[in-house]
Amino acid sequence: MTEAIAPELCDVLVIGGGPAGSTAATLLARRGYCVVMLEKEHHPRFHIGESLLPCNLPLLRDLGVLPQVKEIGVFKPGAEFVSDGGEGRVAFPFRWAIGARETHAYQVRRSEFDEILFRNAAAHGVSTREGIRVTEARFPPGQRADILAVDGQKRVCRFAPRFVLDGSGRDGFLSHRFHERRANKHNSTAAIFTHFRHVERRESGMEGYISIHLVEDGWFWMIPLRDDVMSVGFVGDRKAFREHAGPRTDLFWKKVAESPSVSRRLANATQLNPLSTTGNYSYRADRNWGAGYYMIGDAYAFLDPVFSSGVLLAMRSAYRGARVASAWLHSAEAGRRTARREERRTKAEMRRVAWMIYGINDPDQRKLLLNPRNFLRMRDGVISLLAGDFGGRWIVQLPLAAFRLVLRTMRRRRTRATG
């Protein structure tokens, strides 16, 4: 029956109007393509992922939204790691990043941030639609794709784009249909989070820092937002969740109580919303493209929030997705070549930060992070990663290689000592 619905033609259809979708759509519209972007919700809508990185700034500037983001954001000059184990607090200011061009970032309510990007796409000529969910996708060989979507009145709409970019986030619309999506067993398991008011803030000069409190079997984030709001979340490893029998939300408060540094900061806090949870959050699809489509942002893969890398990786992969779409619209052969190259780049970029992320609960890595030494610029290399410098510049990679060498030596020594 849906065959009877006349399809709307376009060059590129973008599924999802989050940071990845809006970025790619804007870039393609700027190149003169006819782009339709479908978002199942209505902006502004809540989303987790509020801490941005300095390397986001050139992208936001290029898209023309930096002044608006500055307006809604909290100035973030660095990140601090906090230990309950005696090391105290260690600050990593972004100005120490190697060859830093941007020395700060912003922390934002994602409802506001995502809406800015989405409306910006519309201002660049993207046909943006909200409250419309993509439900089916077919890619008949040698023809336009066939995309079905349902709007708020349960009306079925049909689109026939020449290329599709999937920016559907954790829903992973195409990866669930055409690929195998694997959860990452090396990484933490789930997050429990909400917003508070009147959380103890840091002193002047540090008030915009994100705090990462390293606790047993996991870590907490504290992200300062405007109006005295603090986003607080606990991320736990498998052990933390396995050993807790009750509801996940109880685990949040158990972990708060176990951590003197977190409980002190939350002592006078007012909880603003119920706790939310996200499980199985680290994953990757076996591939990020197929004939006629390319997946961008979380729709392809998600690492972990500890280095606040999600939005940056999503936006950078959107730039790649736009390149793939342009090439595909030129010829399928050029599209395939570009997709292969860009997929390799995305994987390499993720690899460059993944090892550090997966080691966040490792005692030796924690010791190194909490007692940073700048021998061979190892500390500054870590700060470069914290700033989002995943591009593979040797000047950053060499100090990080030294850091990994020291880490391996520490691990070997510990394994020998414990027999």
Ligand X SMILES: Cc1cc2nc3c(=O)[nH]c(=O)nc-3n(C[C@H](O)[C@H](O)[C@H](O)COP(=O)(O)OP(=O)(O)OC[C@H]3O[C@@H](n4cnc5c(N)ncnc54)[C@H](O)[C@@H]3O)c2cc1C
Q: Which residues bind ligand X (CB under 6 A)?
A: 15-21, 38-41, 47-52, 133-134, 167-171, 173, 191, 193, 233, 278, 281, 297-299, 302, 305, 308-312, 314
Is 171 or 364 the residue whose CB approaches ligand X more closely?
171
CA distances from 350 to 78, 105, 223, 228, 346 (A): 21, 20, 23, 33, 6
CB of 306 to ligand X, least distance (A): 9
Report the DSSP beta bridge partners of residue 283: 183, 302
CB of 164 to ligand X, least distance (A): 11
Is 289 or 302 the residue whose CB approaches ligand X more closely?
302
Is 278 or 367 the residue whose CB approaches ligand X more closely?
278
CB of 226 to ligand X, least distance (A): 16
Is 54 or 399 the residue whose CB approaches ligand X more closely?
54
* Pair of tokens at residue 211: 């705090």
Closest C-alpha to 78, from 88, 91, 87, 89: 91
CB of 313 to ligand X, least distance (A): 7
Is 308 or 361 the residue whose CB approaches ligand X more closely?
308
Is 174 or 400 the residue whose CB approaches ligand X more closely?
174
What 3-state DSSP class applies to 84? Answer: coil
CB of 396 to ligand X, least distance (A): 19
DSSP string, 302-368: E--TTTT-HHHHHHHHHHHHHHHHHHHHH-HHHHHHHHHHHHHHHHHHHHHHHHHHHTTT-HHHHHH
CB of 277 to ligand X, least distance (A): 9
CB of 80 to ligand X, least distance (A): 14
CB of 142 to ligand X, least distance (A): 25
Angle between helices 363-370 and 394-417 (to 10 degrees): 130
CB of 334 to ligand X, least distance (A): 25
Is 191 or 339 the residue whose CB approaches ligand X more closely?
191
Closest C-alpha to 59, from 32, 22, 34, 90: 22
Is 54 or 305 the residue whose CB approaches ligand X more closely?
305
Dihedral sign of CA atoms 256, 262, 264, 265 in order: negative
Is 191 or 386 the residue whose CB approaches ligand X more closely?
191
Number of Cβ within a 10 Å radius of residue 122: 17
CB of 412 to ligand X, least distance (A): 33
CA distances from 219 to 80, 164, 213, 262 (A): 12, 37, 5, 10
Is 311 or 407 the residue whose CB approaches ligand X more closely?
311
Give long-range contacts, CB 8 A cutoff, 24+ apart: 86-95.
87/370, 87/371, 89/211, 90/369, 90/370, 90/371, 90/372, 91/206, 91/209, 92/372, 92/379, 92/382, 92/383, 92/386, 93/383, 94/54, 94/383, 94/386, 94/387
* Pair of tokens at residue 400: 């990080």
CA–CA separation, 32 and 331 (whole Å):
17
CB of 329 to ligand X, least distance (A): 22
- E-assigned strands of 198-263? 210-215, 218-224, 229-236
CA–CA separation, 183 and 364 (whole Å):
25
Collect all residues with Cβ–Cβ distance below 8 Å to 256 and sequence separation of at least 6: 220, 234, 262, 263, 266
Is 41 or 84 the residue whose CB approaches ligand X more closely?
41
